[in-house]
Amino acid sequence: MLQPRRYRLPAGLLAGCCLLVVAGCQTGQDIHPQATLPQLDAIQPGQSIAGQASATAATASLPTLAAGDWWRRYGDPQLERLLGALAEQAPDIALAEARIRRAQAAVDTIGAADAVQFGVSASAALEHFPDHYSYSSQYAGKSGSEGLLMADARYRFDFWGKRQAANASAQARQQAALAQAADAGLLLQTAIVESYLQLDSVHKLRALAEAALNQRQQTIALLASRVRAGLATELDMVAARDALTQTRGELANIDAELPRRRHQIAALLGQGPAFGDTLAAPALLQLADPLPPSILPASLLARRQDVQAQRAMVEAAQQDIAVARAAFYPDIDIAAFAGLRAFDLGQLMRPGSVAAGVGPALSLPLFDGGARRGQLKQRSADYDAAVAAYHHTVMTALQQVADGVVALRGARQRDELAQQTMRDWRVAATLQQQRAHSGMAGALAVNAAQLALLGSQRRALEAATRTGLAQLGLVRALGGAWRPASATSTNPAVAAATATAAAQSLPTSQR
């Protein structure tokens, strides 16, 4: 009796197949990113930041202001209303929120792959069954019908951590989107506050210019009397009229600057010029100088949302590398189906038409022309680029903090000098007024002293504005989280605001 011959797969061929599978899984181990993530603790902060150590330690008992409400320290109800409505009106904030929703959707999409996938399919067809195919003689060469009603399920195992890495990458990108939105919000807040500070300065400059205009008009009136008395010449009148014309020109420029500043604020809020026209004059308190909460780069930069966003992008790029490496290993699924299938639609709903099955499935492309290696190289290069961008952001952030500290220090020194000059001129104006009461000085001398005082008040206001803008720049550099140099703010506005009130209260002619 003849025995059926059994064919066995040659051992060499079997070993070769195993080697191919192993080679397919191992190719790519020689590809690695080149960049090294910088360690923040190893970065030297520099003398400008380190020089704040004693001031920072002296204010350790004071709370660090949160990045979300630092602007409340200005104590201006109108400013609080503007920034409170920022999230609802500003286009930049709306764009950032759209990016957050997109990142969240990516997380949900990738997370869905961890669940069992279910599906249902149904079909019905009239067809002619060919002779030369897999149909039995009962159907071959005949016409008939075919029906199917099937439910199927599939689950892909994550033995190599591919989906876990993809999910971690999506979550890191979501964190980056949140940080970018917070950073965009801070930049927009500081831009609005900057325009608001300048609007406040323009209002006060106008009050000083009006006071100077009144003084110059009185000077012309006094000179006219002296010309008629033969005590002055027309040359003196020409010089006085020229100064009056210049002051009127300054007022015209200021009147044009006021609506421009209002419209700028409205545009930042996503509003039209009509909204800006409704803004009243600011009523700001003077901020205490901001101090860094810490001089350690790791703690200092932890509050910078742009740094946190770039760090999250580095983490996302690192997880993308893990996804690309997992692609070298086979995908293993388990699939199951159950339902009804029949060649005759009339037999579809009968018990004999029940079909069911379950089993594993393995997928591994052995030869892909280097596509997976190219993908891994691309992901490694993306990681190097993310690390470089993170390093650049860290260095830029430290530079901005150091520059902000230096700029504020210089602005504060100029502010103090301008305040001292203003105080000196106030004393001189008072003395000149006393001399006029004693008959030792004339009205022109009093007016000249008061004009000089107004000039010093204007310089003090400009210096105070530069100090306020320097404070704001340091707040922006610190990520909106800072510690005030003193427990309370000064009241009111800036020292130049009291100078304006004093200028308006001074006598404008000889009493």
**What token pair was written down for 385?**
């680029």
DSSP assignment of 324-346 equals HHHTTS-EEEEEEEEEEEESSGG
Higher-pLDDT residue of 249 and 144 is 249
DSSP 285: P
What is the pTM (predicted TM-score) of this model? Answer: 0.78
Name, in order, each residue with C-beta under 8 angstroms of 223's C-beta and a sequence gap of 6 or more: 232, 236, 237, 240, 444
Same fold across 30-114+159-329+371-505 and 116-157+331-363: no
Interval 190-249: pLDDT, tens: 999 999 999 999 999 999 999 999 998 988 888 888 888 887 788 888 888 888 899 999
d(CA 184, CA 224): 59
Interval 378-395: pLDDT, tens: 999 999 999 999 999 999
Q: Give the CATH superfamily of 30-114+159-329+371-505.
A: Outer membrane efflux proteins (OEP) (1.20.1600.10)
* pLDDT over 80 at 47, yes or no: no
Q: Domain limits of the chain? A: 30-114+159-329+371-505, 116-157+331-363
Please calculate the CA angle 444-448-454 and round it to the nearest 5 degrees: 145
Interval 3-31: pLDDT, tens: 444 445 455 555 545 545 554 555 678 88
Contact present, 430 and 505 (Cβ < 8 Å): no
DSSP 65: B
**What token pair was written down for 413?**
């020194």
Cis bond upstream, residue 351 (ω within 30):
no
Confidence of residue 93 (pLDDT cuts 50, 70, 90): low
Q: What pLDDT, on a 0 to 100 scale, did the predictor assign at position 53?
A: 59
Q: What pLDDT, on a 0 to 100 scale, did the predictor assign at position 418?
A: 94
Name, in order, each residue with C-beta under 8 angstroms of 338's C-beta and a sequence gap of 6 or more: 150, 151, 152, 354, 355, 356, 357
Characterize the bridge pairing of strands 354-363 and 331-342.
antiparallel
Tell me if the domain spanning 116-157+331-363 has CATH number 3.30.420.40. no
Contact present, 240 and 215 (Cβ < 8 Å): no
**Mean pLDDT of the residues in the chain:** 81
> What is the dihedral sign for C-alpha 12, 18, 20, 23?
negative
What are the Cα distances from residue 379, in Å, to 1, 353, 362, 389? 64, 50, 25, 15
In 3D space, the residue among 213, 205, 278 whose CA is nearest the CA of residue 241 turns out to be 213
Q: Which of 5-9, 266-270, 335-339 has the lowest mean pLDDT?
A: 5-9
Quick one: 72 exposed, middle or buried, by C-beta within 10 A (0-12, 13-18, 19+)? middle
